[in-house]
Structure 1
Amino acid sequence: MHDAHLSPSPAHDSSRRRLLLAGIAGTATLATGGALAQSAFPTQPVKIVVPFGPGGFADITARQVAQLMGDKLGHQVLIENRPGAGGVVAAQAVLSAPRDGHTLILFSNGTTIATTLLKLPYDPERDFAPVSTMAYFDLLLLASAKGPFGDLRSLLAEGRKRQLTFGAINPGSTQNLSAELFKRVAKVDATVVPFKTSGDVMTALQRGDVDLGFETYTALRGSIDAGLLKPLACTGSSRTEWLPNVPTVKEAGVEGYDVTGWNAFYVAAGSPEVAVKVYNDTLRQVLATPELRRRFLEMGADPKASTPTEMAAIFERDKRKWAQVIQQANIKVS
């Protein structure tokens, strides 16, 4: 006679086997489901197309963000530089890529200017979808440290006696249009002199060829930190963390002037909604990283994410503002 405790019946053995197999199958399903949940998107390396050359502010900041995004997404995030007038080359590269969400493009406030200034073969608002802002940055109103202007009020007082000269890079750039906007809001007689590079603006300021320059902290940081150029005001609505002692244009006596530059990420219209959500969530985490924030602030930028809806509103607002400036300054559309 077999002991029932030592030798289970065939029915009991069969039941145990079914439970065991079911448990194994369930575990496998959970493991597979978890893996799918984690790697549903992206499924391959991601590309960010930057419409500027290597080494500039947009390129450097995008690379820093891309590295941290890659760590969180589990796939490499690569930067592809496609410089060209108004971002056309970069935009066309993205529009010709598969609409699978694995290609992003960096837009800037310059993109809103291009919609009026250039005859674009696409519509940035219709053919692309916003993901999030990446960084905000102000311009600075700069004078020679050896010049006669200790603050913006003294420069405006001089402007009531004679015509002033403002220096900024290329007509149609944010810097150039910011200078045009300033002379209208401040109600001063001024000529905006165009220069090819930020370095040329710096040289003109130091030589006294122009009274005031409009440029980013990033571009002329060396000369500012060395005490060769004096920031008279910043163009945003509040003082910056990187130059907290520099007043805003409003604080310096000019009401109604506010210029804030930005860089943001977009995807081609028709890309999967999951891509926008995943990138937005990832950017929120990355841009809140203390180390990245420290690096951005050192370059004169404030890392900050937005919702896609907020980004769309920013784009539309700036497009209208710069279109008006372009029209008033009579800058020709090409």
Structure 2
Amino acid sequence: MSLQIIRHQQRWRRQLWLTVLCCSLLLAVIISLSSGSYHIGMTDWWQGLTQIQQQIILELRLPRTVLAIAVGGGLALCGAVLQILLHNPVAEPGLIGISGGASLLAVLLIFAGHQFGISIPAWGVSVSAFCGALLVTMLLIRLSHQGQMGGSRLLLLGVAVGIASNALTTWLLYFSDDQALREIMFWMMGSLAYGQIHPAYWWLPFILVCGWLACQHRKLALLQLGSYQAQLMGLDLQKTQRKLVWAVCFISGMCVALAGVIGFIGLVVPHLLRLAGKDGPAFTIPASVLAGSLLLLVADILSRSVVSAGELPVGVVTATIGAPVFIWLLVRRHALSG
């Protein structure tokens, strides 16, 4: 079989996967807009929506659906980039401490608000979470030999910073009153209800950074070959690493700020796609964005459908879906290597 035929088959397989993911995401969007306590059937879509149905879709369900697509795609994108950058198949923003730092400052603000009777604006927790992600990233880059970030060193420092952040968060939980504890726990379990309170201009920097990071698949392909080989091929390793880390920090910080702590998407989605596609970043990056959006949107639909009188925290749903899949991946990998 010639090399040209093999490349054609790989290109066809990549396009097929992306087409299936796009169609699945479109179907999930329709289901998300239709499902809820007020069900909208296919006949309603076909015959024309009433004014009440239009208000429900435009004011409640559409912003939530857009948020699920953005946060799910952003988290999966960050996971895919970090797994290539750190040469670690289980890397994600939570593993290097970014999510922990964001959670710490958000929890600290909620704790202080209840402890001292301070009125916190609707956007206050989101801003503090984003600042926490930035501070953790600055600390990691500072500690990593003045910006010379080896993959293993950055990973170990991130794990240490994450453990310290979680320890401080636990202390704040211990000394919180009942009302603050309920608010903190609900925020830490993740919810797509927070994004509806933010204005539209919050999304512009998020979209721009996500677009820039998604276009770095050529540099990521070089990094996937190894640091030494990437430098031989003309890549400015330190500059590229710093830019990628800052972009991942910005996107994951925005995701935590908009939806709270949602785990497993950045870990499981890129890992599954690499096993299925067996292709480089040119496939993994766009496929991760689509699959991450699809996974979080499906989790949000389940969170609104399982409990009739309310909704489950979407972070709990993603963890319930992601943990068994991750265990299966580990068992499968061990069986193949053994």
Which gives a bigger RCO, structure 1 or 2 (Cα 8 Å, sep 6+)? 2
User: Same fold by TM (over 0.5)?
Assistant: no
Higher helix share: 2
For normalisation by structure 2, the TM-score amounts to 0.23
Q: Which of the pair has more CA radius of gyration?
A: 1
For normalisation by structure 1, the TM-score amounts to 0.23
